Chains A and B, each alone.
Chain A
Amino acid sequence: MPGDGKVGAGSMGEGALSVRIVAKSFRDPGGGRREVLREVAFSGKSGEIVGLLAPSGSGKTTILRIVLGLDRDFEGEVRRPPGRLGVMFQEPRLLPWLTVGANLRLVASDHEREIAGLLAEVGLAGAETLHPRALSLGMARRVALVRALLGRPSLLVLDEPFASLDPQAASALAALLVQAARRDGALVLLSTHDLDQLLGFADRLLVLAGAPARLAADCPTGLAAPSPGVPVMGGFKEKLLHRFPFLSAAPAPQGAP
């Protein structure tokens, strides 16, 4: 029975996320329902970086939307850690009538110093007075990342955060995510096609496969204290690629669900 999904905060454990999606389907134009997810259950704890990997169109964005409480038409239950949510959608979603500064202050009005500091960290110092139309896509995505990081969220959800970023900006982003997790205790949940990037700093990988997509693997990367750029040891990547060949495929275009 679709549509009875429960999304709530807390009570499972301090800073914990618990996701149990029994089934998720979308309505077809013909009136039927197309199941996209089945038996997807995972959890995460404060300070952990969890990467979600799957072929294009397997429902990564759908899972993130369910976690954010934006899609409640599913069977199952989601428990989020209490506290602030930070989100970076696939597209920047900056309000075009507000300046960069006003966009950031809209979600964190009393964080002036943090705004200036984070903008500087992503290489956008002094961009506060610019309007989004004056930014490139990569710059706009960095502003969206700053917005997500503001206010030290307990849960940080990022959908394809490395898209449109050059390698340098991607490394800086990874460093910021590690900092948010290790220093501020945020639970970071992100989807990406970039296995290499993810292996450099994620604590755990969740791999979706099949149709409807199921959770095919939930494995720690084995990095006790991962940091961006550190090579993964022990043939972990090769094992993953052997079991899930689609992970070596070229990145899918943006906008895939």
Chain B
Amino acid sequence: MIRHGGRLRAFSLAAFIGLWWAAALIARNPALLPAPPDVLAFAWQAVLSGAMPRNIAITSLRAAAAFAISMTAGSAIGYVAGRSPRADTLIDPWLIILLNLPVLVVVVLCYIWVGLNDVAAVLAVALVKVPTVMVTVREGARALDPGFDELASVYRLAWRQRALRVIVPQLAPYIAAAGRSGLSITWKIVLIVELLGRPNGVGFALDELFQTFDVAGILAYGFAFAVLMLLVEAFLMRPWEGRANAWRR
């Protein structure tokens, strides 16, 4: 079954590349739609020069920092909101504002208020992501089993035991779901933030390539970063989610 699924995936990917290649041959305009070998050639040169690995590393660091901050803050606020109706009522208006504020507004305001630096860039991405993490974890906190709270209370478990052995395992599936959906959004926002106000990173490189209409370069960076995120998703996020949900099966 898995092998069959893997074959289907490989076929789907090959069909995508084949269609792209065919479209490039029909278009006969490499500047507008380069063929896969042209994109690979650009990527290879960018790797050899060190520009692509450097830019990808910088963007990955920013994405990781923003991801860590948004997951930590979103989980903590979501937990409090899920446990306390009063806190939820207090937090809700803020949540609605943050959820509906355009990403661009948050990014521009962060750059204006904090300055054109990495702190503003990471803060902007984290601010955009925190509300969605919070909403997911709040649902998890609302679903906590009160029977386990009573058990912890009767046996006077220390707060550390309560948190690590009783609460976190129940929240873990929700945190993992928030993390998995959050990662794909986070790195896309990081590119916008870099494009708007950073002198390095994949977003900055894409901006430079856009100035010269270098479609091969844009595709090379886009695919390289997407592949990296797919690997993170497959080898980090999915196993983490699987582990977090293991006790529910």
A residues touching B (Cβ–Cβ < 8 Å)?
Answer: 68-70, 85, 87, 89, 91, 93, 95-98, 106-107, 131, 133
B154 CB contacts on chain A under 8 angstroms: 68-70, 85, 87
Contact between B155 and A85, CB atoms less than 8 A apart? yes
Instruction: Say whether B197 faces chain A, with CB atoms less than 8 Å apart.
Output: no
Q: When the two chains form the complex, which single residue of B150, B151, B157, B169 contacts A97, counting CB atoms closer than 8 Å? A: B169
- Beta-carbon contacts under 8 Å, B134-188 to A: 147-148, 150-151, 153-155, 157, 161, 165-166, 169
Given contacts A95-B165, A95-B166, A97-B169, contact A69 B153 (CB under 8 A): yes
Q: How far is the CB of A66 from chain B (nearest CB, A)?
A: 13
Instruction: Say whether B247 faces chain A, with CB atoms less than 8 Å apart.
Output: yes
Q: When the two chains form the complex, which single residue of A70, A91, A131 contacts B153, counting CB atoms closer than 8 Å? A: A70
B148 CB contacts on chain A under 8 angstroms: 93, 95
Contact between B247 and A97, CB atoms less than 8 A apart? yes
Given contacts A70-B154, A107-B155, contact A91 B147 (CB under 8 A): yes
5 additional A-B pairs beyond A97-B247, A98-B165, A133-B247, beta carbons within 8 Å, are A87-B151, A95-B148, A95-B166, A106-B161, A131-B247
Most A Cβ at <10 Å: residue of B154, B157, B169: B154
Please report the C-alpha to C-alpha distance between residue A255 and residue B229 in the assembled complex, in whole angstroms. 48
Please report the C-alpha to C-alpha distance between residue A122 and residue B161 in the assembled complex, in whole angstroms. 27
Please report the C-alpha to C-alpha distance between residue A95 and residue B154 in the assembled complex, in whole angstroms. 15
B residues touching A (Cβ–Cβ < 8 Å)?
Answer: 147-148, 150-151, 153-155, 157, 161, 165-166, 169, 246-248
A106 CB contacts on chain B under 8 angstroms: 155, 157, 161, 165
A95 CB contacts on chain B under 8 angstroms: 148, 165-166, 169
A131 CB contacts on chain B under 8 angstroms: 247
Please report the C-alpha to C-alpha distance between residue A85 and residue B157 in the assembled complex, in whole angstroms. 12
Q: How far is the CB of B220 from chain A (nearest CB, A)?
A: 44
B246 CB contacts on chain A under 8 angstroms: 97
Given contacts A69-B153, A70-B154, A87-B154, contact A93 B147 (CB under 8 A): yes
Most A Cβ at <10 Å: residue of B150, B151, B169: B151
Q: How far is the CB of B173 from chain A (nearest CB, A)?
A: 10
Please report the C-alpha to C-alpha distance between residue A36 and residue B157 in the assembled complex, in whole angstroms. 31
Please report the C-alpha to C-alpha distance between residue A63 and residue B111 in the assembled complex, in whole angstroms. 60
Chain B: CB-nearest residue to A65:
B150
A107 CB contacts on chain B under 8 angstroms: 155, 157
Q: How far is the CB of A208 from chain B (nearest CB, A)?
A: 22
Report the 4 A-B pairs with minimum CB-CB distance, sorted nearest first: A97-B247, A107-B155, A97-B169, A96-B247
B153 CB contacts on chain A under 8 angstroms: 69-70
Please report the C-alpha to C-alpha distance between residue A59 and residue B157 in the assembled complex, in whole angstroms. 27
Q: List 19 A-B contacts (CB under 8 A).
A: A68-B150, A68-B154, A69-B154, A70-B150, A70-B153, A70-B154, A87-B151, A87-B154, A87-B155, A89-B147, A91-B147, A93-B147, A93-B148, A93-B151, A95-B165, A97-B246, A106-B155, A107-B155, A133-B247
B166 CB contacts on chain A under 8 angstroms: 95
Q: How far is the CB of A39 from chain B (nearest CB, A)?
A: 26
A68 CB contacts on chain B under 8 angstroms: 150, 154
